Amino acid sequence: MYHHIKKLMYTVRVGTPDPRFGNMLLEQFGGANGELAAAMQYSIQGLNCTDMARKDLLMDIGTEELSHLEIVGTLARMHLKPMKKAREAAEADPLVAIAGGGGVTLCNSMGNPWTADYLKITGELDVDLRSNIAAEARAKIVYERLINFCDDAGSKDALQFLMTREITHMKAFMAALESMGKDPLEVGLIPPTPGVVNKFFNDSTGKGDEGETDARGPWNEADDIEYVEAPAKPIAEGTQFEVLEEIQKATRRGNPRSATTQPRSRRLR
């Protein structure tokens, strides 16, 4: 059950409206990492969740994100409002000005409509929690960029609050995942194939224009990792002619009477 209270979760004050900035704010309203996406992702994951404790967590945070949506929408509306009547302001975003009368719609900053394709819902709680940790990190960095591009003190204040809450959520999702007691690489039930899982393929090779070489690090030089040098290279090194010849040989092998050499009537049957 949802209940609306006629009060914002955080007070929003705007000194001077900035239509261009209002347009940027729409990214957190109807964009891929925005508040509607967060609210829907966590709430729908919550509907699917059979772990009652973590279901409650998903519903708590999913509902808070709806309150964030209300704050961002209110803030964006304050910045976009002059577009309705002022030609100069309208030029900042003709779509919002002409089609929307300076109001917010569920579009991103480029006018692309919000889509459920933004949501990551797998029905596997630990996998969903990982998606949520990543989603919070993305929301955090988008808020940080908005703060950096904002001149208005009141707007900055509200954005700082919203950015901070994303870190709080990130911590909660991390703690929920950790408390499930699963090994970080234990995803699903089927174990990975032993001789394959431990191989690192050095698939990007050669020396780059800036002198870049093949990097080594904990991801490819740990004791249990086998470093495999350029497995695709021998094939790619063949000349164009050699490759063509190989393709022709393979085609003849698989299809002794090539389709194209048969009469048209037979090919169509």
Nearer to Mn ion, 92 or 118 (CB): 118
Of 142, 175, 2, 151, give the one whose Cα is nearest residue 72. Answer: 142
Calpha distance 91→78 (Å, rounded): 17
CB of 45 to Mn ion, least distance (A): 13
Nearer to Mn ion, 68 or 77 (CB): 68
CB of 163 to Mn ion, least distance (A): 9
Q: How far is CA 44 from CA 40, 128, 134, 188, 225, in A?
A: 6, 11, 17, 20, 38
Cβ proximity of 37 and 29 under 8 Å: no
Torsion (CA) 12, 15, 20, 24 in degrees, nearest 10: -20
CB of 249 to Mn ion, least distance (A): 57
Calpha distance 25→105 (Å, rounded): 11
Nearer to Mn ion, 45 or 102 (CB): 45
Interacting residues with Mn ion (CB under 5 A): 35, 65, 68, 166, 169
Nearer to Mn ion, 134 or 230 (CB): 134
CB of 19 to Mn ion, least distance (A): 23
Length of the chain as a residue count: 269
Nearer to Mn ion, 79 or 169 (CB): 169
Nearer to Mn ion, 45 or 92 (CB): 45
Nearer to Mn ion, 65 or 93 (CB): 65
Cβ proximity of 80 and 23 under 8 Å: yes
Nearer to Mn ion, 171 or 182 (CB): 171
Calpha distance 135→194 (Å, rounded): 31
CB of 122 to Mn ion, least distance (A): 18
Q: What is the 3-state secondary structure (H, E, C) of 120-182?
A: CCCCCHHHHHHHHHHHHHHHHHHHHHHHHCCCCHHHHHHHHHHHHHHHHHHHHHHHHHHCCCC
Calpha distance 168→68 (Å, rounded): 13
CB of 221 to Mn ion, least distance (A): 36
CB of 124 to Mn ion, least distance (A): 20
Q: How far is CA 111 from CA 26, 53, 155, 167, in A?
A: 9, 38, 22, 28
Calpha distance 156→159 (Å, rounded): 5
CB of 62 to Mn ion, least distance (A): 9
